[in-house]
Amino acid sequence: MKARLREGAAFLAVGGTAFVLGAVSLEALVRAGVSPYAAQVPALGLAILTTWLGNRRWTFRVDAPPTWREFLRYVGASLGGLAVNAATFSALTYAGLPTTPAFAAATIAAMGFNFFSYKFAVFAR
């Protein structure tokens, strides 16, 4: 049980760090004159790279050296999480739920999807 709590806390800390880095880089690029839509690409890229490195080291404690194959699986799983987020948000707002609760539910659904896909598909031992 203690290991699961540690793993969950590490996952949340890594994700929170990646969110802050992504948001700061997005804001910096927009202030530098980059379109917010174009600025999302490197901001999300930085967030995904940050979570890959942090999750492999602190959340799932992977000892093997990183590989491109693992990174590409991670990117695929992350894109799956983005799809879960978008689909959940769209379905809930279409059903009439206000945007903030829909956003929260979509974020939680995507976090769950990401955690389990990273644990069992990307970093499975």
pTM: 0.89
Distances (CA, A) of 98 to 36, 81, 87, 108: 24, 21, 15, 16
The length of the chain is: 125
- In the chain, the percentage of residues whose pLDDT exceeds 70 is 100
* Domain extents in the chain: 1-61, 64-125
- pLDDT in the model for residue 120: 96
Q: pLDDT band at 125, cuts 50/70/90? A: confident
Asked if residue 118 lies in contact with residue 14, where contact means CB atoms within 8 angstroms, the answer is no
- pLDDT in the model for residue 86: 96
